[in-house]
Amino acid sequence: MSERKVILVVEDQADIRTLIRMTLELGDSEIHEADNGEAGWHMIKALRPDLVLLDVMMPGSLDGYQVCQKIKQEPSLRHTPVILLTARGQRSDFEMGRAAGADAYLTKPFSPLELIDTVDSHLAKRQANAA
């Protein structure tokens, strides 16, 4: 009945990517993965995912905040929900995420249920806005 949602997970830690994949594959989602910001940005442009889960601190020239800004500055992508994932839960981190255009912020470690609820609510919001 509902079409599969494409979700991109951009996270440099393989064990966290695996946990997210296992959690979200229980739903009807197609999960793609990237292990750094540059690869993530290229995949975002190619895949046009329905939602992006984006680690904040990653190696390479693009961190999560920068990738989020690029998504929100690109007219064809700006309505893509971006959920930032980070071990840093300070108020300044949340403010930087908001300034970058993030739709939500999950602090590690997060529970699988919290992840599912956040992803589902943002996918539902996107679908309602597209209707």
Q: How many domains does the chain have?
A: 1
How would DSSP label each residue in 13-44? -HHHHHHHHHHHTTSSEEEEEESSHHHHHHHH
Residue 67 lies in a domain: yes
**Is-contact 33 47, C-beta < 8 A?**
no
Residue 131 lies in a domain: no
Neighbours of 28 (CB within 10 A): 11
Provide the token pair at 115.
């992840």
Spatial distance between the Cα atoms of 69 and 64, rounded to a whole number of angstroms: 9
Q: What is the CATH number of the domain that holds 59?
A: 3.40.50.2300
Torsion of CA 8, 14, 16, 21, to 10 degrees: 50
pLDDT tens-digit map of 88-123: 878 888 899 999 999 999 999 999 999 999 999 999
Average pLDDT rounded to a whole number, residues 64-88: 95
Residue 44 lies in a domain: yes
In which domain, by residue range, is 102 found? 5-126
- Look up the pTM and report it: 0.95
Residue 114 lies in a domain: yes
pLDDT tens-digit map of 9-68: 999 999 999 999 999 988 789 999 999 999 999 999 999 999 999 999 998 999 999 999
Residue 101 lies in a domain: yes
Q: Looking at the DSSP assignment, which residues form a beta bridge with residue 83?
A: 53, 104
